A and B are shown apart, each in its own frame.
Chain A
């Protein structure tokens, strides 16, 4: 029976020759991920059910990134709980302050995910690793607990939407604009329970960072996973970062897709999602004057080195608008160090921005850039829900690092 790329990976991990959409399967996991918010719930669940050992010490990743370095006593207690569990269980991939980064930037960089892997993570943006040709999806803490103990998870095999990328992106259009455009087209539940499989000649124009950003936001269309087939770009990235042998799967030529969406990359323009849903997209040239109070450049969506380079290119020799608090957050220590070596950090500081240690902080309204009542922020993050970054009547506009940096200079949403 013909299968999509996602179905092929699921079938292989369930020991089945084929699977079909809607089928319930139990599959073997290559990696189980949790962070400082979701892991304590999983750890308590394990304790409440009589304890037990993790299935494989090398296949668990615990990343302290959401409220880290800890913002308050309760957050510190949550990390303490994770730290104790990691030590007791001998979890090999435990990332604490000094080693940690924003989880979905960190794991690919550390080579913990390879092509053809099956990954679950107690964080909705776990879908990021589809960029590496893996089937990767977000789950809750109980799934994480069960996965840590057994190495298995239950899945309903998803149907899929084929997203055909054609042509080449114009200048100043990035992976972020591609995914915001797609979410604008199909809506925040447009891919509910489904896979988003990216294909077409335009994939060759997508760098690994573009792909990571695109797959990262698949969840914002409701998708179970987003995925690019493993190609030369993937293999080159994995060669540099990952010791595992890539397992290359391909969708069958006659695989069934529920829907096909074609995106002509040449026609895309920098895109902004207005409050309070990622589907509220506008191209930057159709936005009137919207004055802003803050810009955040970072997160698992856009805190990678290419994102910082783009922002620095805009900010070099310029200063941010006097009314815009500009916060730059390299997503990992290695990205931070690279940015330092390239002089990007100096560019940011000279422009009047602040540079933070890696953290998810402001993206989810944790700390490091909370918005007051009525304030507006342009963010390279992934969600602009009510109250996501602070007061319930504050507003978040989602955009690329290019648009965010330009907006910081202008004091309003726009490009230079």
Chain B
């Protein structure tokens, strides 16, 4: 996968990713229409299919709302890279099959608009704009199995 970076700082919370005032409708399209609204009002207008969200520490903290990764996935974002993730957001991404990677170096180096290429199989992140490569340790086999079948409920 390959896409352009939308860069955010530490502690982006799920209220910012999808404010609770929109949680009265759980359809992916309705959620995507307000994705990142309380942290970046320009996101919905500029996000393109395949783009990558990059953030620093504790991305997705706060509420357990799975609406947050659903909104991100439905926006066309192909992958989220961060220094680390809040734990409920982390497992929600795995459970719905939204690729995420923890890589502090890649996360800190990346800037808004950089082009990034990700090889999930090999655990490689390539910042094409900066000409840098990073390797990410693979997930344990149990988690890889959930991702491989496209989500927890898939057989």
Contact = CB atoms under 8 A, between A and B. Distances in A.
B97 to A, nearest CB: 10
A contact residues, range: 35 or more
A125 to B, nearest CB: 8
A224 B90 CA distance: 12
Contacts of A319: none
B140 A138 contact: no
Given A140-B91, A193-B87, A392-B38, A383 B62 contact: yes
A222 B61 contact: yes
Contacts of A310: none
Given A143-B91, A365-B19, A38 B64 contact: yes
Interface stretch (B8-16, B113-121, B129-137): B8-16
Contacts of B86: 189, 192, 222
Interface in A18-44: 24, 37-38, 40-41, 44
Interface stretch (B21-29, B73-81, B103-111): B21-29
B128 interface: no
A355 B139 CA distance: 49
A366 B142 contact: no
A385 B153 contact: no
A49 interface: yes
Contacts of B11: 188-189, 277
Contacts of B21: 365-366
B24 A385 contact: no
A188 B95 contact: no
B6 interface: no
A124 B64 contact: yes
Interface in B35-62: 38-39, 57-58, 61-62
Interface centre among B25, B39, B58, B63 (most CB of A within 10 A): B63
A41 B64 contact: no
B7 interface: no
Contacts of B58: 188-189, 192, 222
B contact residues, range: 35 or more
B95 A41 contact: no
A78 B65 CA distance: 15
B1 interface: no
Nearest to B84: A192
A214 interface: no
A75 interface: yes
A72 interface: yes
A316 B58 CA distance: 43
Given A41-B67, A222-B58, A364-B63, A142 B88 contact: no
A143 B145 CA distance: 15
Interface in A129-149: 138-143, 145-146
Contacts of B15: 364-365, 383, 385-388
Question: In terms of DSSP, what is the predominant structure of the interface of chain A?
Answer: loop
B147 interface: no
Nearest to A154: B142
Given A41-B26, A138-B88, A386-B16, A188 B64 contact: no
A177 interface: no
Contacts of B38: 386-387, 392
A189 B61 contact: yes
B26 A72 contact: no
Contacts of B67: 37, 41
A385 B91 contact: no
Contact of B88 (A139, A145, A383): A139
Contact of A124 (B23, B39, B88, B154): B88
Nearest to A43: B26
A28 to B, nearest CB: 17
A182 to B, nearest CB: 16
B74 to A, nearest CB: 13
Contacts of B84: 189, 192
B92 interface: yes
B20 A365 contact: yes
A140 B13 CA distance: 15
B95 to A, nearest CB: 4
B24 A75 contact: yes
A37 B86 CA distance: 20
14 contacts: A38-B65, A41-B67, A46-B153, A139-B88, A141-B92, A145-B153, A146-B153, A188-B11, A188-B58, A189-B11, A192-B58, A364-B20, A366-B20, A383-B13
